[in-house]
Amino acid sequence: MHTRVTADNVDWLQVCLDAATDEIDADLDRGESFELPPPPPVHTTCIARAVEWWKANDAAFGVIGYAETGALRAPSDSFNRHRTVIAPYKLAWGLA
């Protein structure tokens, strides 16, 4: 994340973790039944997704600028790549 936890940012960091957790729980259809601690791939995915939520502030308009790479456009469905990692832990699959 390239940031330190401070009194000024701890609340926002927690919001990012909560958002990632809610997103994963909804995708896995687990609700309150999720085992504690979560399986390592789910835990790692949650941290990775929370970092994306944290970094989203840098891409408020969908573009992140880097001197080394130029402007990078944020993907339209950034959670989709995480679904592949956590899919084995999904409890229910709906009909499409």
pLDDT of 1 above 70: no
Helix or strand (DSSP H, E) at 81 = helix 80-86
Give pLDDT, residue 66.
54
Nearest to 42 by CA among 95, 92, 94, 89: 89
Q: Is 2 left (phi over 0), alpha (psi -120 to 50) or beta?
A: left
Q: What is the pLDDT of residue 51?
A: 86
Give the pLDDT mean for 24-42: 78
Helix (H, G, I), strand (E, B) or coil at 71: strand
pLDDT digits 0-9 by tens, 43-95: 899 998 888 888 876 665 555 555 555 555 555 567 888 888 898 888 777 66
Mean pLDDT of 29-47: 79
Give the bridge partners for 82, in sequence order.
Answer: none
CA atoms of 54 and 13, how far apart (whole Å) = 7
